[in-house]
Every structure is written in C-alpha cells, then in structure tokens.
Amino acid sequence: MTIKVAVAGASGYAGGEILRLLLSHPAHESGELQIGALTANSTAGKLLGELMPHLPQLADRVVEETSPETLAGHDVVFLALPHGHSAEIGRQLGEEVLVIDCAADFRLTDEAAWGHYYGGEYAGSWPYGIPEMPGHREQIQGSKRVAVPGCFPTGATLALLPAVAEKLVQPDVTITSITGASGAGKKASVPLLGSEVMGSLKAYGTAGTHRHTPEISQNLSEFSEEKVTVSFTPVLAPLPRGILTTATAALQEGVTEEQARTTYEEFYQDEPFVYVLPAGQQPQTQNVLGSNMCHIQVEVDPFSHKLLVTSAIDNLTKGTGGAAVQCMNIALGLPETAGLPRAAVAP
C-alpha cells in the first residue's frame, strides 16, 4: 500500500521543512510514500522550484490552491498554515485521513486560554505531539488527528519536564528563549528585514503576552499536582534557525545537582531525539542545525538554590517539521526515527 501525503502551506518555512524530511524518508525512497498535492495561497500557480530551489526533486511541481477538495484523497495531510485556518479544513477532511496540524488551532485544552491569547471560535484540542511527554506517544499511535506543538513550547517543555514530573522544583518557572527569525514564518515583515535584525537583539511578546505561554504551562501542569506558573520571554536574534532556551526554577528542599542530573539522564535515556550533554558542555544551536534533536544541560546554582536547564533545538526541525514527521511515523506505525536526522550540519 502506498501512503499518499499532501502538504498545505508547502511554500512556507514549515512546509518546506516537512518536504525536505519526507524526501529522505525511507518510505519515500522505497516508493511506499508518495508526495501528492502541494498547496498554498499567495504562491498558488508557481513552480515549487522557483520558491524552494533547495528541493530539486520537486522543482517541476506546481503549487495548487489550498482547499479541502485539493487535499482530499490523501492518506496524510500536513497543515502548515497560519493559526485559524486549520480548523475548517480539518473538519472537511474525512475521519480516515491522518491530519497533522502545525498551527495552534488544536493545541490548547482550555477554551478560556484560547479566547484570551488567540480569540475567535475555539475548535477544541487534538492529541498533542510531543511524544517525549509520558502518555503522549500512546495518544498519537493510531490517531487520525495530531496537533504539533509550538517551537518555543517544545524547547521549554523538554527542558523542564523531568524536573516538574519528578518534583525537583517548585511549580513556578522562568523561561527565556532566544530564537532565529524563521520562527515568524516567511511572510514579508519590516521588523524581520535583514537590516532590522542583523546586529541586534529584541525581546517581544513580553510580560506573559506571548501566545505560547499557556501552552508551556499546560504541558508542565499535566505532570504537576499544582498548576505551573510560567514567566516566558522570547528574544529575537539575528539567526535563520535555532532556539536556545534557559529555564530556571527554585529547587525543592534537599535536591542536589547529582540528583538532578541523574533524574534527567534516566528520564530521557530511551528518547532518541533528546541528548543530555555531559557536565560542563553547553547546548548550542549550531549543534542541532537541521536535526530533530534537543540538546539539554542541567545544572544547580548553589547560591540561588535554583535549577538551571538549557536546551537547544532547530525551530524548523524538532520545533515544527521534524515533530510533524515524527508524529506521522508514530501514528502510521512506522519506525519513529524514520527520515529524521540526529546528526546536525556543521560548521
């Protein structure tokens, strides 16, 4: 049986990353996975080779208009669309289609949080696509609907999950994430022009206003007896890709650095895409470039009695496209690591 896959939003950064990974997927190389419709809106009618010359295998493919009719007839549909567009399309695709949404439409389980941070009609929630969260791999298996997490929540959740789940810290965390410009998408925007970004750093979505804040809190609170309070600050840096996250939280009484490190190593020992670095080695975005990995370092500050966890991911791979393909693999019963690089590009 051939698995036929469509990508909506194929000319954007997330869509392009999904296609890059699918092209090297073993199932595609064997002919068991076929890349079908590639759709978009503003770029419909253009050749993909004009828009994404880094994907020469698909250079002669014409980008079609995004519609339920165009996406129908596929076994898997990736929705790499801005938030607010996935819900209606998802409703019109049959229950037999595996729909993997890279937008925020189905991530939040709290309707009030959705209304506050996004507004508009609440579409509900789908199985949430961080397989490394206990229980979530099982939810994704055999599911026909998956919500891919946000890029910031991926780095932050993986950084803090063992500490919260194993009660190493108090349920009040502070997170700062430095991100590359591709996280804002491919749309034209003056604040993202090279002359605006190069040589400069800027915090944005500050003081609890960033839309990923409730998602991080939701993820961590799932494994805590109390709701986890999150103070989250994103910082835009002159990088194309990558997110470096630092997360701090007050330790519970008596927790040592050795205990914290052992907890993290044991928690992630069977996770192929999480690497707890040796003591003294710091995560760097360049070491995860193009890979589906999350690199983590865990330390204890003895003076403030706080846990410090640093994580690095590629926002377009583990943070979006790689997570989407990882979820596809799990949902279809394919090897979870298929088509997903663990080695990065260096230098």
Residue 203 pairs in a beta bridge with 235
Q: How many CA atoms lie within 13 A of 162 on its CB side?
A: 25
Residue 229 pairs in a beta bridge with 172
Helix-helix angle 13-23:322-332, to 10 degrees: 50
The secondary structure of 160-221 as a DSSP string is: HHHHHHTT-EEEEEEEEEEE-GGGG-SS--GGGSHHHHTT--EE-STTTTSTTHHHHHHHHH
Burial class (CB in 10 A: 0-12, 13-18, 19+), 110: middle
Token output for 196: 């605006």
Token output for 328: 């596809």
Measured in whole angstroms, the distance separating CA 151 from the mean position of its chain's CA atoms is 4
**Which position among 102, 151, 294, 327 bears the catalytic label?**
151
Token output for 74: 């596929």
What single-letter DSSP state applies at residue 252?
Answer: P
Token output for 191: 């604040």
Active-site residue 151, yes or no? yes
Which residues are tagged catalytic?
Answer: 151
